[in-house]
Amino acid sequence: MPRRFGAIGVVATLAVTLAACAPGDSGDGGGDAVNLKVWGWRQEDVAAYKKIFQIYEKAHPGVTVEYVPYKNTEYDTILKTGLTDANGPDVAQLRSYGLLQPLVGSGSLVPLDDQVDKLSGFPKPILDGAKGDKDGHVYGVPFAIQTLHVIYNKKIFADNGIDAPTTWADMIAGFDKLSKAGVTPLANTVTDKWMLPIEQEIFGATTYGGPDYLTKMLNGSAKFTDAPWVKSLETWKSTQKYWPAQASGVSYTDAQALFTSGRAAMFPGGVWELAGFKKANPQLDLGIFNAPPAPGASVDKTLVPGYVDGSFGVSAKSRHRDAALDLVRWMATKEFGTALSNELQQISPVPGVEPQDELLAQALKGYQANPSPYVTYAYFSGGTPTAWDLASEAFSDYVLDRSNAADAAAHIQRGVDQWFRPKN
């Protein structure tokens, strides 16, 4: 008797739960009115996207576009599930490079190569971020480029008689001057390991040579363990004496606070930091520069590392595939690029779009002139373990003096060798 009660109870509970979870009929299957749902991870951008999509709605009567944001850290999991269902998104913000691959692998996205003509006008390195590794198709229209720089406090530089450096020696001389004046030159974090590969690209890119070296790595003629790349770690670590006191315990937020409070003169990081820095301290007068070629560098120009932040793709399960494709076609136009750049203070990858913000314009100009890849994150993240995870771990040990540069490089190479096959 109790057992039967139990069974009935479990069934009843399950039935109630399932009923509660069952997808409701969205009711927009028929008729002319189309409501497109665009999923994304930027909760802070809802108002801006509303404004941007109003432009589209005006030009396309009968179509409404709704930006549905999810929590950044949970988005990938939510999206994976959402894309398996017609009640999920019509258009979705997609992560780039390796993080995109599981969605491509599960057939959740519509290939856009033949659907969005304007994609052919995008530079190849930009499209790399939205490509399926195995089939080479483009699955999203890239919406933002992130670039990596040394962000500096103009007032501290002026007070100490320093300018944005044009040579490595100038840069080091400036660091020394600041140290003597009691200002921490570089607000680096060590605790938050994911920042370490970013710091390494900022200071080490010229040593290994940027895009040319990447080409060799991809075709198998160069490795992480070869001299140029190993040396790039040493170049980066040579700036260690200019990091904050007890840097090993300085977290990402500590480093940000050191910079915005004026206790540190520079913050090596992504262009995405600018908006946050200005918000934290509106008095800050910010500038950006990139590390000039280090002694013994493989190239003689100042490289600007950058990568594609994400793209907009179409769900294969969408009930409104045509309308969704129309929307992403618009996302490849200058009109969308300009609106996004102005509303979100981001660098749009759409060819010909100039950011209004002076620093963003400078960042984009630098990147277009001398682009450099974010190697570990962008190009070696399509398998497990990703070079980015491996580099974060290895660099942590390296800056804590628990290993040397060659060991760190060997750790990455050993991990990547398990899945990476060079393309000739």
Check residue 28 for interaction with other proteins (CB under 8 A): no
Check residue 13 for interaction with other proteins (CB under 8 A): yes
- Selected binder of other proteins within 115, 160, 191, 404 (CB under 8 A): 191
Give the H or E element holding residue 317.
none
- Selected binder of other proteins within 95, 131, 149, 193 (CB under 8 A): 193
Check residue 77 for interaction with other proteins (CB under 8 A): yes
> How far is the C-alpha of 129 from the C-alpha of 96, rounded, in Å?
5
Per DSSP, 109 falls in state B
**Shortest Å distance, C-beta 140 to other proteins:** 15
For residues 110 and 360, which CB has a smaller minimum distance to other proteins in the complex?
110
Per DSSP, 332 falls in state T
Q: Which of residues 395-414 bind other proteins (CB under 8 A)?
A: 396-397, 400, 402, 411, 414
- Selected binder of other proteins within 62, 107, 296, 352 (CB under 8 A): 107
Per DSSP, 203 falls in state H
Stretch that binds other proteins, among 7-15, 31-39, 170-178, 292-300 (CB under 8 A): 7-15
Check: CB of residue 66 under 8 Å from CB of residue 323.
no
Check: CB of residue 113 under 8 Å from CB of residue 63.
no
Check: CB of residue 336 under 8 Å from CB of residue 267.
no
Q: Which of residues 283-312 bind other proteins (CB under 8 A)?
A: none
**Shortest Å distance, C-beta 10 to other proteins:** 5
348 closest CA partner among 359, 360, 366: 360
Q: Please name the residues in contact with 10: beta carbons below 8 A apart, sequence gap of 6 or more.
A: none
Q: Site for other proteins (CB under 8 A): how many residues?
A: 56
416 closest CA partner among 384, 368, 392, 377: 384
Total residues belonging to the chain:
424
Per DSSP, 404 falls in state -
Stretch that binds other proteins, among 40-48, 106-114, 232-240, 277-285 (CB under 8 A): 106-114
For residues 330 and 398, which CB has a smaller minimum distance to other proteins in the complex?
398
Tokens 């969308």, residue? Answer: 336
Residues lying near other proteins in the complex (CB under 8 A):
1-2, 5-6, 9-10, 13-14, 17, 76-77, 80-81, 83-84, 98, 101-103, 105-108, 190-194, 244-251, 254, 257-258, 263, 383-386, 389-390, 392-393, 396-397, 400, 402, 411, 414-415, 418
